[in-house]
Amino acid sequence: MSFNKVKEFIEEGDVIILYLGHNDMHSLEIKAKIPNKNGKMVDNVFQTKYGALKVFSLVGHKYGTKKKLSRGWAYVLQPTPELWTLTVPHRTQIIYSPDISLIIHLMDLIPGSIVIETGTGSGSLSHALIRVIRPHGHLYTFDFHEQRINIAQAEFERHGLSKFVTSSHKDVCIEGFGKELETKADAIFLDLPHPWLAIDYAVSTLKKSGGKLCSFSPCIEQVQRTCAKLISKGFIELNTYECLQREVHVQYKNLPILNLECLQYENVDKDMAQENEKQEVKLLTAMHARSLPGHTGFVTIATLPPFHVRKME
């Protein structure tokens, strides 16, 4: 239940984030016993590079505790959608926090929003959406893969989020979102191989007062076909973004002062030139990294205007 509210102390059944380093984090469930490979129940002991941790011994400790291990230590953190994205078991390729933040911003989500997500996958985006729209909003998430949707539903229940989300096994490109959701959604997110096939259903599912449709696609050809379909269905304000992070190194450097007065003279002696070269000034500089992180995907956002002003081809 540790996702649902801010807590001070760790309880049985909580999911915690074990922080060993910036690139070494793990999500653990606080249980006394877990099944081994043979199905036999054994003590819940997690092996780390700093030694073994008896997971159930964390019950009663405060979140943020620095836990001593035999060869070092670890921090025990309360999970957030950002930390869950870094530790979630990958059932599919996931969307990471930079793209997630852009998606949520572009869809104009607020507490109370009704949101539809297609392509539940590993549930990385789902947790972030739920945090934004609760306590009065609701997320309807769909996936064509039955096992993935069942695992995601079980995770939502363990995390105490099940009352904010409805998970459904359905291929929305063929079956749509269902009559019960017609004219109910404030925003729809599409993470599909062929997002243009779901746009007809999206038009009837967004509210008559209008709404947002966001699509995440790795290939520009997908974006082109999606945008063409959106325009034909009366969507406006189409924009496509690519979210890339660029690191900037800020540091002080000693730089030589260029004294150009010597150029006024026809004959400049060696001592004058060397004297100018020795003069330096300390400046704060910014240097861009030589490389950027790789491409993840294109985020396309479009607005469906109110029903009475829509224009369709």
Asked if residue 36 lies in contact with residue 44, where contact means CB atoms within 8 angstroms, the answer is no
SS3 of 235, please? coil
The C-alpha atoms of residue 310 and residue 123 are separated, in whole angstroms, by: 33
Q: Is 200 exposed, middle or buried (0-12, 13-18, 19+ CB in 10 A)?
A: middle
SS3 of 172, please? helix
The C-alpha atoms of residue 140 and residue 130 are separated, in whole angstroms, by: 10
Length, in residues, of the chain: 313
The C-alpha atoms of residue 173 and residue 195 are separated, in whole angstroms, by: 8
Asked if residue 183 lies in contact with residue 208, where contact means CB atoms within 8 angstroms, the answer is yes
E strand segments, 153-247: 165-169, 187-190, 211-217, 236-242
* Distance, CA of 50 to chain centre: 29
Asked if residue 309 lies in contact with residue 303, where contact means CB atoms within 8 angstroms, the answer is no
Binding site for S-adenosyl-L-methionine: which residues?
Answer: 122-125, 143, 171, 191
Beta bridge partners of 151: none
Beta bridge partners of 9: 62
Q: Indicate the helix (H) or strand (E) that contains 199.
A: helix 199-205
Asked if residue 75 lies in contact with residue 67, where contact means CB atoms within 8 angstroms, the answer is yes
Asked if residue 185 lies in contact with residue 209, where contact means CB atoms within 8 angstroms, the answer is no
Binding site: which residues?
Answer: 122-125, 143, 171, 191
Among the listed residues 58, 60, 77, the one whose alpha carbon sits nearest the alpha carbon of residue 20: 77
